C-alpha cells in the first residue's frame, strides 16, 4: 500500500541528485587514477596501496547508490534487501579473501620456493 | 482506480505479492542478478588471483588504454573509459526516469526515456568496440623472447616507441605470406608481422639511443628500463615480433592480461547487447500500448533492474581493470 501511495509522485529530482553524486565520485576516481599522488600510491597496508583502498571504497559507495536508489532496493522490505545484498556481499568477500590469499601464496612460491616446477 | 486495475492484472498474470512484498517477476529478476553478479565476481576474482600471482610483471593499465578519438598519438590515460562510464551511468539515469514515468502511467515520457536509454547503450557498445579495436591492433609493437617475456622499446626520453619508428625495412625481404592466392591455403603458418625480427634488430643496432623496457615493475611502480648494454644482451633472446593482442600473446606484457580483458569486457559487452535487445522489445511494447492495457508498467521496471545491473558491473570492471 505504501508503495502505491509513493508511486504517483515523481522522483526525478532525487534521480538527478544521485546522478550528480555518481558523476562526482567517478571524476574523483579518474583524477586520482591519472595523477596517482605519491603519498597514496606508495603507502601500503597489507600489500595494497592506500590509493587502491580509496578506489575500492568509492566503488562500493557507487554500487550502493545504484542498488539502493536506481534499483529501488531502498523501497523493498528489509528481509528482501538482505536476501540480495547480504548474500552477495558475504559470498563475494569470502571468495575474494580466499582466492587473493592463494594468489599471494603462489607468488611467494614463484619467488622463493624450491619446488616451482610443481606449479 | 489504479489499485483495481492492478488487482485485475495480478489475477491474470499471477503477480500475487509474496511474503517479501515483491512481485514474483521482480523477485526472480533480482535473484537472477544475484547469480549473475557472482559469475562476474568469479571473473574479477580470477583476474585478481592471476594478478597477485604475477604481481611484479603485470601490465600497468593506464599505459595500455591511453587512446582517445581524434587525439592520435596523444597519451590520454583512462579519459575514454571515464567517458564510457559516464555514458553508461547516464543511460541508467534515463532508464530510472522511464521507470519513474511508468509509475505515473505517462506512456510518451516512458517511450522517450526508453529511446534515450537504448541510444546510450548503443553508444557504449560502440565505444567498447573501438576500445577493443585499439587493443587488438596495438600501438607500439614488441618482441617476445624464448622464455615468453615481452620486450618493449623506449627512446632516449624513456617513452615507449613503435617498431615503425625505428625498424629498418629490408627492400629485398621475401614476403612469404601464406595466402589463398599463393595456393598455400592448406598450410597453417603463424600470422606474419609487419616487421620481421631481423628488421627490428637492424633498426635497434642503427639507433644507439634505443633501450629495452622489460615487464618487471620497479619499486617506483614503473616498468624497468635496461641500460643500452643490457638491452643489446637481452635482445639476443628475441624470437618473435608481437603486434597488438590476441588470446595467445599480446604486446602489452603478460599473456593472460589480454585473455582477461577479452573475457571480462566481452562478457559485460554481451550483457549490454542483451540489455539493449530487452530495452528495444520493451520500447516497442510501450509504443504499442501493451503496458497501458495491462494497467502496469512493471515490465519497464524489470528491464530497468537488468539495465542497472549492467551499469553496476561496469562500475566494478572500471575499478578493477582500469584503476587499481
Cβ distance of A33 and B62 shorter than 8 Å:
yes
Confidence (pLDDT) at B10: 44
- Please answer yes or no on whether B79 and A4 come within 8 Å at the CB atom: no
Interface contact flag, A34 B322, Cβ < 8 Å: no
pLDDT digits (tens, 9 = 90+) for B196-250: 899 999 999 999 999 999 999 988 888 999 999 999 999 999 999 999 999 999 9
A10–B48 CB contact, under 8 Å: no
Please report the pLDDT score of residue B3 as a whole number: 46
Contact B103 A99 (CB under 8 A): no
CA-to-CA distance for B151 and B37, rounded, in angstroms?
37
Residue B19: its pLDDT value, please? 73
- Read off φ and ψ for residue B160, nearest 5 degrees: -65, 140
Chain A nearest-CA distance from B34, in A, is: 6
Give A16's contacts in chain B (Cβ within 8 Å): 93
Does the pLDDT value for residue A70 go beyond 90?
Answer: yes
Query: What mean pLDDT is predicted for residues A97-114?
Result: 89
pLDDT average, residue stretch A81-88: 94
- How many percent of chain B have pLDDT more than 90? 69
So what's the pLDDT on residue B175? Answer: 59
Number of CB atoms found within 10 A of residue B80's CB: 20
* A90 and A82 Cβ atoms separated by less than 8 Å: no
What are the cell numbers at A65? 547508490
Per cent of chain A over pLDDT 70 is: 90
Q: Which positions 17-36 of A are in contact with B (Cβ < 8 Å)?
A: 18-19, 22-23, 26-27, 29-30, 32-34, 36
Q: pLDDT tens digits, residue range B284-293?
A: 999 999 999 9
Check pLDDT > 50 for residue B252. yes
3-class secondary structure, B82: helix
C-alpha pair distances (Å), B147 with each of A110, B169, B240: 15, 26, 11
A83 chain-B contacts, CB cut-off 8 A? 20
> Of A56, A80, A87, which has the smallest distance from its Cβ to B319's Cβ?
A56
d(Cα B302, Cα B30) in Å, to the nearest integer? 9
d(CA A41, CA A61): 21
Q: How many CB pairs under 8 A join A and B?
A: 145
**Could A95 and B89 be called an inter-chain contact, meaning their C-beta atoms sit closer than 8 Å?**
no
Give the HSE-up count for residue A115: Cα atoms under 13 Å, Cβ half-sphere: 1
Is the Cβ of A95 closer than 8 Å to some Cβ of chain B? yes
A 59-78 residues inside an 8 A Cβ radius of B: 59, 62-63, 66-67, 69-72, 76-77
The three three-digit cell numbers of residue B78, written as one number:
583512462
pLDDT for position B221 = 84
Query: Which residues of B fall within a CB distance of 8 Å from A11?
Result: 100
Q: Which pLDDT tens digit goes with each residue over B68-108?
A: 888 776 777 888 999 999 999 999 999 999 999 999 999 99
Is the predicted pLDDT of residue B129 greater than 80, yes or no?
Answer: yes
Asked if A77 and B20 come within 8 Å (Cβ–Cβ), the reply is yes
- B28 → chain A, closest CA residue: A84
Q: Using the beta-carbon criterion (under 8 Å), do A84 and B33 form an inter-chain contact?
A: yes
* A103: nearest CB among B53, B90, B100: B53
Q: pLDDT tens across B4-63, in order?
A: 444 444 444 445 566 788 888 899 999 999 999 999 999 999 999 999 999 889 999 888
Band of the pLDDT at A119, cuts 50, 70, 90? low
Q: Are the Cβ atoms of B104 and A8 closer than 8 angstroms? A: yes
- The pLDDT of residue B225: 93
Predicted local distance difference test score (pLDDT) of residue A8: 58
Say if the Cβ atoms of A16 and B93 lie within 8 Å: yes
At B191, is the pLDDT very low, low, confident or very high (cuts 50, 70, 90)?
low
CA distance B233 to chain A (A): 24
DSSP-assigned states of every residue in B139-169: SS-EEEETTS-EEEEE-TTS-B--HHHH---
Nearest CA in chain B to A80: B20
Cβ contact B33–A55 (<8 Å): no
Give how far B257 is from chain A: nearest CA, Å: 15
- Pairing verdict, β A48-49 and B142-145: unpaired
What is the average pLDDT across B302-308? 96
For chain B, the average pLDDT equals 88
pLDDT over 80 at B151, yes or no: yes
User: How sure is the predictor about B66, in pLDDT bands with cuts at 50, 70 and 90?
Assistant: confident
Query: Cβ of A8 under 8 Å from any chain B Cβ?
Result: yes
Interchain CB distance below 8 Å, A26 and B312: no
% of chain B with per-residue pLDDT over 70: 88
Please, are residues A108 and A119 in contact by the beta-carbon 8 Å criterion? no
Residue B201 pLDDT:
93
> Residue B225's beta-bridge partner residues?
B213
Amino acid at each position: 500500500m505504501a508503495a502505491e501511495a509513493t508511486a504517483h509522485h515523481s522522483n526525478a529530482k532525487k534521480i538527478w541528485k544521485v546522478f550528480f553524486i555518481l558523476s562526482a565520485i567517478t571524476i574523483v576516481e579518474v583524477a586520482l587514477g591519472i595523477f596517482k599522488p605519491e603519498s597514496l600510491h606508495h603507502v601500503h597496508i597489507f600489500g595494497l596501496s592506500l590509493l587502491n583502498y580509496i578506489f575500492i571504497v568509492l566503488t562500493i559507495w557507487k554500487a550502493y547508490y545504484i542498488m539502493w536508489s536506481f534499483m529501488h532496493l531502498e523501497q523493498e522490505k528489509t528481509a528482501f534487501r538482505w536476501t540480495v545484498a547480504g548474500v552477495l556481499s558475504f559470498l563475494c568477500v569470502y571468495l575474494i579473501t580466499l582466492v587473493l590469499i592463494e594468489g599471494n601464496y603462489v607468488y611467494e612460491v614463484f619467488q622463493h620456493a624450491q619446488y616451482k616446477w610443481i606449479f | 482506480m489504479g489499485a483495481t486495475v492492478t488487482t485485475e492484472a495480478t489475477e491474470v498474470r499471477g503477480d500475487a505479492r509474496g511474503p517479501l512484498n515483491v512481485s514474483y517477476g521482480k523477485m526472480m529478476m533480482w535473484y537472477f542478478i544475484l547469480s549473475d553478479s557472482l559469475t562476474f565476481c568469479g571473473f574479477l576474482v580470477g583476474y585478481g588471483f592471476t594478478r597477485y600471482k604475477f604481481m611484479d610483471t603485470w601490465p600497468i593499465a593506464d599505459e595500455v588504454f591511453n587512446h582517445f578519438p581524434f587525439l592520435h598519438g596523444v597519451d590520454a590515460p583512462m579519459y575514454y573509459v571515464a567517458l564510457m562510464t559516464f555514458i553508461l551511468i547516464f543511460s541508467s539515469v534515463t532508464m530510472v526516469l522511464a521507470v519513474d514515468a511508468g509509475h505515473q502511467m505517462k506512456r510518451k515520457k516512458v517511450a522517450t526515456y526508453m529511446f534515450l536509454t537504448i541510444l546510450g547503450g548503443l553508444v557504449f557498445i560502440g565505444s567498447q568496440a573501438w576500445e577493443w579495436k585499439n587493443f587488438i591492433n596495438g600501438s607500439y609493437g614488441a618482441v617476445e623472447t624464448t622464455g615468453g617475456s615481452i620486450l618493449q622499446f623506449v627512446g632516449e626520453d624513456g617513452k615507449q616507441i613503435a617498431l615503425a619508428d625505428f625498424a629498418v625495412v629490408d627492400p629485398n625481404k621475401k614476403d612469404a605470406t601464406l595466402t589463398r592466392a599463393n595456393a598455400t591455403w592448406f598450410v597453417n603458418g603463424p600470422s606474419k608481422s609487419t616487421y620481421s625480427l631481423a628488421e627490428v634488430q637492424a633498426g635497434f643496432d642503427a639507433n644507439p639511443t634505443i633501450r629495452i623496457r622489460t615487464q618487471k615493475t620497479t619499486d617506483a611502480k614503473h616498468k624497468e628500463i635496461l641500460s643500452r648494454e643490457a638491452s643489446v644482451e637481452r635482445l639476443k633472446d628475441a624470437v618473435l615480433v608481437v603486434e597488438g593482442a590476441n588470446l595467445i600473446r599480446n604486446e602489452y606484457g603478460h599473456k593472460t592480461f589480454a585473455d582477461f580483458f577479452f573475457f571480462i569486457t566481452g562478457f559485460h559487452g554481451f550483457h549490454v547487447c542483451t540489455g539493449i535487445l530487452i530495452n528495444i522489445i520493451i520500447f516497442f511494447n510501450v509504443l504499442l500500448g501493451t503496458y497501458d492495457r495491462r494497467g502496469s508498467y512493471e515490465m519497464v521496471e524489470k528491464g530497468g533492474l537488468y539495465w542497472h545491473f549492467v551499469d553496476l558491473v561496469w562500475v566494478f570492471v572500471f575499478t578493477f581493470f582500469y584503476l587499481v
